[in-house]
């Protein structure tokens, strides 16, 4: 269970980036070693177990390596509104999940 004081909610849907920035500042002030997970409301999770495994692995890796971790799927079409992530070689696997 996540404590209520660890949740910040946007009162009205406006723009995600300022909310993420505010949350990052809030976390940094409370715990400089904290890990932030951002879950926009436009995602589909086909396998709860698989998603939670990936999320736990990503959080553990972010905490261990001090990296930003992005979870995603192969795109079905180009969408400039989201930007682009370029895939690189697999450097290592963390918990069976490749790190690129």
Contact 34, 40 (CB under 8 A): no
Residues 58 and 81 in one domain: yes
Report the predicted TM-score, pTM, of the whole model to 2 decimal places: 0.64
DSSP 8-state symbol, 80 = G
What is the total count of domains within the chain?
Answer: 2
7: pLDDT confidence band, cut at 50, 70 and 90? Answer: confident
Find the helix or strand (DSSP H, E) in which 99 lies: strand 97-99
**Residue 2: domain span:** 1-39
And the tokens for 32?
């400089």
Judgement on whether residues 15 and 55 belong to the same structural domain of the protein: no
Q: Is the pLDDT of residue 99 over 60?
A: no
Close Cβ partners of 45 (under 8 Å, ≥ 6 residues apart): 51
Q: Containing H/E element for 17?
A: helix 16-30
95 or 23, greater pLDDT: 23
Q: Could you report the per-residue pLDDT of 26-52, keeping only the tens digit for each? A: 889 998 888 888 887 677 788 888 888
Determine the pLDDT at residue 25.
92
Q: Do 51 and 3 fall within a single domain?
A: no
Confidence label for 19 from pLDDT (cuts 50, 70 and 90): confident
Q: Are residues 9 and 31 in the same domain?
A: yes
CA distance 100 to 98: 6
């Amino acid at each position: 269970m996540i404590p209520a004081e660890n949740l910040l909610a946007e009162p009205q849907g406006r723009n995600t980036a300022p909310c993420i920035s505010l949350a990052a500042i809030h976390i940094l002030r409370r715990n400089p070693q904290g890990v932030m997970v951002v879950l926009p409301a436009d995602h589909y999770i086909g396998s709860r177990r698989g998603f939670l495994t990936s999320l736990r692995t990503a959080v553990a890796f972010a905490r261990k390596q001090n990296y930003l971790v992005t979870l995603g799927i192969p795109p079905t079409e180009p969408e400039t509104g989201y930007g682009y992530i370029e895939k690189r070689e697999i450097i290592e696997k963390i918990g069976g999940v490749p790190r690129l």
